[in-house]
Structure 1
Amino acid sequence: MHATQDETEPPSAPSAALRPGLRERKKQRTRDALIRSALELFAERGYEGTTVDEIACAADVSQRTFFRYFAGKEDVALAVQQMVETHFFEAVCERPAAESPLTALRTAVMSSWDTIEEAIASVVPLELHLRTYQMIQTTPQLIAAHLRRTAELEDRLTEVIARREGLPPEDPRPRILVAAFSGVMRETGKRWGLLMEQDMEEFRRQTAAYLDQIGPALAENWRS
């Protein structure tokens, strides 16, 4: 068993003015180490075959420290995916008000790809994230949790779109649009997740191609 790290500052820590920033960086390093350790173990032993104790030991921290950062295995398994979704949501919120709702959603997805790979790579190797994404798609407990979080994200996106357009909460159009958009994203992700040889650029291309079909797919007559 490895010796575990504690969460306290060493006696020689810099002045009090610097301590909050140092503590936050240390916490972020510990959190990232737990994520990397967990995803590496999941890739090696499978989700069900990995315990919280093993994750904590691999990250060189105590089990108590693990639970300071994550509620359990499910939480740490979805941590990077949650980061991706948060990145996308923030991109939607930053889109110009003059854009149509669908354009704002589509552009936010495509533009967020410009920086998300770097953000992922700062925590785990991109290839490990891709393997984890496939694991999420094929593990009942994780896909259920992922879909639950997706539903929560859809609610937040609906509120943003309604507010952008100055619509009352009872107007169904924002929710219908977000549901259609999310359906396309889920279908693209599901297909891509089954083909591990594909890279992020291919995922981006497929996503753009699928999103471009929302309008035609909603046309009244597909035969014309």
Structure 2
Amino acid sequence: MAFGIGKGGTGTMHVRLPFVDRAEAGRVLGELLVPYDLEDPLVLALPRGGVPVAVEVAGRLGGPDRPAGLDVLVTRKIGYPPQPELGVGAIAEGGEPVFDHDLLDRLDLTEEDLAGTVEAERAELARRVRVYRGGRPLPDPAGRDVVVVDDGLATGGTARAALRAIRPRGPARLLLAVPVGAPETVRMLREEADEVVACATPAAFRAVGQWYRDFEQLTDADVNALLEGRAGP
């Protein structure tokens, strides 16, 4: 059993790892976010794994008279073609591809070499937007405190793409919130967000899944079931 220290707006919280599941992680993360006193918060989940976390966060941040906004912000990893699981970049809806240029240099690749891969990921991104949101546009983040939520941070590629897609749309504050993250990735992403909030940043970080007892992969149907009746401005 490991322990972590999460940093919130007014202090720290001791966190016991691993989390039971993403829902428990979301409840802990929601408590950590309360001291930030967010104004008209909009919680944007990175599907699929960020959705059950974000549902709990939005429930904690909202009130009976004014629930927090909740929706998905769809992202896609851009994989190295011979080894697709190796992410060399990412793209978020409404944004441009964001590449890991150090990794591209090591692989002797250019952005132009990945044009076909990017096009395929754009198509899959558009499909998921249709599946998760139908014809609804992404809620307008302008002037609002926006919290981008995922179930964890490993390399941070998709989170970086998400933050860069939202920043130009004028949020009052832009936060990235995760239950667990690799320490170096959390430090790196502080350059992209106004705040990065993590319940725990364990030194022995290998993968997000190691910090959950139940880390079952979710389907599109799971995402829609979680969002049903809860997504909106």
TM-score, normalised to structure 1, is 0.29
Largest Rg, 1 or 2? 1
- Write 1 or 2 for the structure with the bigger share of strand: 2
Q: Pick the structure with more helix per residue.
A: 1
- TM-score, length-normalised on structure 2? 0.28
Q: Which has the higher contact order (CA 8 A, sep 6+)?
A: 2
